[in-house]
Structure formats: C-alpha cells, structure tokens
Amino acid sequence: MAKIGEMGVMVTQCKDCSKLNKAVDIMEKFEWSPLELNPFMAFDAANKECLLSEDQLMRIIQMVNPAQKVRKIRLVSQDEVRVATVKRYDTD
C-alpha cells in the first residue's frame, strides 16, 4: 500500500515490512550490554540469572499477536511446554 506523506513523498507500506520492523524491534529489546541500561532485562550476577520484565514480555507477545489479552507469564522448560500442548489437544 502506498501513502503520500506530509512532505509529498510516496511511502510504500507492506505487510512483510511491518513484520520485519516488529522483528527488529523485538531483537533490539533482547540486546544488552553491561555498559547500557536495558529497561526490558537485567542480569543478576549473584544468581547468574537473566531477569525479564513480565510486562514488557507480554507487550512483545501482543506485538506479534495483537488480540492476545494480558496474562501472567510463567517460564518453563521445553518439556513442560510439550506436556501442556499434549494435554490441550488430548481428546481422551
């Protein structure tokens, strides 16, 4: 889709570009350095753990899935995800 901007310049918008912009935004939220503050995540050196903002993580999920309602988030192992997925689709 093309739009004429305020400066009279034709700007092309496409679905793929929008997805790519979201992907870059998400990638930037996960980039961090000891020299820069990141409001999305931090590192707890004493426990050797990455700390993530639950609210910010939910916002990222909503960027990808705009209809997603705000929910609590629990981090689990991939095995726990598999078990939950099987339970969800188990018809017995």
Q: How far is CA 27 from CA 31, 35, 38, 54, in A?
A: 6, 18, 13, 17
Domain boundaries, the chain: 2-89
Whether the Cβ atoms of residue 40 and residue 56 lie closer than 8 Å to each other:
yes
Tell me the per-residue pLDDT of 9-50, one tens digit each, with 9 for 90 and over.
666 667 778 888 888 888 888 887 777 788 888 889 899 998
Helix (H, G, I), strand (E, B) or coil at 3: strand
Tell me the per-residue pLDDT of 48-84, one tens digit each, with 9 for 90 and over.
998 988 999 999 999 999 999 999 999 999 999 999 8
pTM as predicted: 0.65
Distance between CA atoms of residues 39 and 43, nearest Å:
12
Give the largest CA-CA distance in the chain: 62
